[in-house]
Amino acid sequence: MEPFVKHTGKTALLNRKNVDTDQIIPKQFLTKIEKTGFGKHLFQDWRYLPDGSENPQFELNEDRFINATILVTGDNFGCGSSREHAPWALLDYGFRAIISTSFADIFYNNCFKNGILLIKVTPDELSKLMAELENGDGIEFEIDLEKQIVSTPGGTSISFNIDEFKKENLLKGMDQISWSLQHLPKIESFEQDQKTSRPWLWD
């Protein structure tokens, strides 16, 4: 997993509330367990017309938001089913961070497990960020995870809270498996002790 320390990137605006995981990645594309290849189907039903061409009315198809790596969006993003493919699709598309007032709980945790930083802001703070994006073109936000600050070219600076464990894992680029492997010597020692004291468990 790629570490997240400080990130500056083009920022896209998806001013929609209650975006569920079936809109993020529709169920017909949940056909494999690899984490790659889902980005092309992100927001499939909004992003493409029935003939397969890009929908010019969809926000992320606007030139000013192409290749964005930060997403600013409405309340309750990631609601619906708990599919882990949703963060996979967002990450594969290129998003490293998402800013909103609220996220569905399971989606929130799944994103952190896959290296996506989710930032919760107040409604007033979100309105300021959205207003700057609505009136700009190719705007880049800066996110400093160590200092827990979002900065914009318009002069807005927002502090955000984050669980210390999630923050540490993002800074080091660790998922749950790599975090557990930090303790590999202790795990191996425990296994060896059990093989001696309870060999029937290893038959």
Q: Indicate the helix (H) or strand (E) that contains 112.
A: helix 105-113
Does residue 1 form part of some domain? Answer: no
Domain that holds residue 196: 174-203
Question: Are 44 and 105 a contacting pair, CB within 8 Å?
Answer: no
Q: Give the strand order in the sheet containing 117-120.
A: 117-120, 97-100, 70-73, 6-14, 140-144, 149-151, 157-159
Question: Are 32 and 92 a contacting pair, CB within 8 Å?
Answer: no
- pLDDT at position 42, please? 97
d(CA 30, CA 81): 12
Q: Count Cβ atoms within 10 A of the Cβ of residue 29 and give its class: 0-12 exposed, 13-18 middle, 19 or more buried.
A: middle
Looking at the structure, do residues 67 and 112 belong to the same domain, yes or no? yes
**CA atoms in the 13 A half-sphere facing the CB of 174:** 14
- pLDDT at position 47, please? 97
Question: Are 46 and 106 a contacting pair, CB within 8 Å?
Answer: no
d(CA 89, CA 87): 5
Looking at the structure, do residues 51 and 116 belong to the same domain, yes or no? yes
- pLDDT at position 54, please? 96
- pLDDT at position 181, please? 60
pTM (2 decimals)?
0.88
Query: Which pLDDT tens digits describe the chain residue by residue (203 residues)?
Result: 889 999 999 999 999 999 999 999 999 998 888 889 999 999 999 999 999 999 999 999 999 999 999 999 999 999 998 889 999 999 999 999 999 999 999 999 999 999 999 999 999 999 999 999 998 899 999 999 999 999 999 999 999 999 999 999 999 987 766 666 665 676 666 777 777 777 777 77
Looking at the structure, do residues 70 and 165 belong to the same domain, yes or no? yes
Does residue 30 form part of some domain? Answer: yes
Looking at the structure, do residues 154 and 80 belong to the same domain, yes or no? yes
Q: Which residue has the tokens 């083009």?
A: 10
| Residues 6 or more apart whose Cβ sits within 8 Å of residue 191 | none
Does residue 165 form part of some domain? Answer: yes
Looking at the structure, do residues 20 and 107 belong to the same domain, yes or no? yes
Give the total number of structural domains in the chain. 2
Does residue 78 form part of some domain? Answer: yes
Looking at the structure, do residues 29 and 69 belong to the same domain, yes or no? yes
Looking at the structure, do residues 44 and 18 belong to the same domain, yes or no? yes
CATH number of the CATH domain containing 64: 3.20.19.10
Q: Side chain identity at 123, as an amino acid letter?
A: P
Looking at the structure, do residues 163 and 184 belong to the same domain, yes or no? no
Does residue 116 form part of some domain? Answer: yes
- pLDDT at position 194, please? 75
Looking at the structure, do residues 187 and 99 belong to the same domain, yes or no? no
Looking at the structure, do residues 73 and 151 belong to the same domain, yes or no? yes
Looking at the structure, do residues 157 and 190 belong to the same domain, yes or no? no
Does residue 107 form part of some domain? Answer: yes
Looking at the structure, do residues 143 and 64 belong to the same domain, yes or no? yes
DSSP 37-65: S-GGGTTHHHHB-TTSSB-TTSGGGSGGG
